[in-house]
């Protein structure tokens, strides 16, 4: 696998996002390889628990915008007009389902977040069963401001409606401490203690028989799935395609091509660009 490192350590499978030079940004291969690594661990009779983490200085920076925003990726994330929504849906639904392999796996998955898990990286982290963050790490879905809708919809399932709206109406990033206080993740610890805390929890869970772990996970997941999770994710995946082909989405893509994605993202996140009018927002006179 080119984007994932897999290692088995006794009863623990370690799945590491392994594109550290781009802060583990998501390309076309990574979702497929995440699902393959999860399937490998799930099929191994010796593995009880999986730990998902990121190499380098962050968990995941989201989709690789050099590849998808400045360019267009192999999946044509922005199609020529008129665009084909089913073509877009087919591409993004596959990615959503690859991320959801973490949720569907019979064995529990602990996600360890350091640095940040943002945009599509937050989708990955929130599909795990338990997410533990460094208290100074950041999580958020900034494309909610323009050019994205979180296809896994895990924000609402973890937070409830009002807190999910607070995050997705603003696209704000919050710290691991804030995320734990809000109930988005199970726990936040000092960055220096993150590895030890995750290892201790994984070791504790790994002492439980696989069938016991699987049954508890299935019962809890069933309760969530009965609320219509798949239908919600289908709608979110369709909307994600619409966000990239709306007038504002096209303007963001064009802006990324003109000035580079880093400047376009900065303008998006700081609210200094009017994506409808396709122009910078004038600074107020003081």
Residue by residue, DSSP assigns 58-127 as -SB--B-HIIIIIS-TTTTSSPPSSP-HHHHHHHHHHHHHHHTHHHH-SS-EEEEE-SEEETHHHHHHHH
**pTM attached to this predicted model:** 0.95
Domains of the chain, CATH where assigned = 4-280 (3.90.226.10)
**Residue pLDDT tens, the chain, 286 long:** 999 999 999 999 999 999 999 999 999 999 999 999 999 999 999 999 999 999 999 999 999 998 888 766 665 788 888 999 999 999 999 999 999 999 999 999 999 999 999 999 999 999 999 999 999 999 999 999 999 999 999 999 999 999 999 999 999 999 999 999 999 999 999 999 999 999 999 999 999 999 999 999 999 999 999 999 999 999 999 999 999 999 999 999 999 999 999 999 999 999 999 999 999 999 887 6
Residue whose C-alpha is closest to residue 102's, from 6, 31, 1, 207: 31
Note if the bond before 97 is cis, omega within 30 degrees: no
């Amino acid at each position: 696998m080119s984007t994932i490192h897999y290692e088995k350590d006794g009863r623990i499978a370690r799945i590491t996002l392994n594109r550290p030079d781009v802060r583990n940004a998501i390309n076309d291969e990574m979702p497929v390889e995440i699902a393959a690594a999860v399937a490998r661990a799930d099929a191994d009779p010796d593995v009880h628990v999986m730990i998902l983490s990121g190499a380098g200085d962050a968990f995941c920076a989201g989709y690789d915008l050099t590849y998808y925003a400045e360019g267009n990726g192999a999946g044509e994330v922005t199609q020529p007009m008129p665009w084909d929504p089913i073509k877009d849906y087919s591409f993004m639904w596959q990615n959503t389902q690859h991320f959801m392999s973490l949720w569907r796996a019979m064995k529990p998955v602990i996600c360890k977040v350091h640095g940040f898990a943002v945009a599509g990286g937050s989708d990955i982290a929130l599909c795990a069963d338990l997410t533990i963050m460094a208290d100074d790490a950041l999580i958020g879905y900034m494309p909610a401001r323009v050019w994205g809708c979180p296809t896994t919809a895990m924000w609402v399932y973890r937070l409830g409606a009002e807190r999910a709206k607070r995050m997705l109406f603003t696209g704000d990033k919050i710290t691991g401490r804030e995320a734990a206080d809000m109930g988005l993740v199970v726990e936040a610890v000092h960055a220096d203690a993150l590895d030890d805390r995750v290892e201790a929890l994984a070791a504790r869970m790994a002492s439980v028989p696989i069938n016991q772990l699987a049954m508890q996970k299935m019962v809890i997941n069933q309760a969530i799935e009965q609320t219509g999770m798949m239908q919600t994710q289908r709608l979110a995946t369709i909307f994600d395609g619409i966000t990239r082909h709306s007038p504002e989405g096209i303007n963001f893509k064009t802006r990324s091509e003109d000035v580079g994605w880093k400047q376009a993202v900065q303008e998006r996140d700081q609210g200094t660009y009017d994506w409808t009018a396709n122009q910078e927002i004038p600074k107020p006179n003081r």
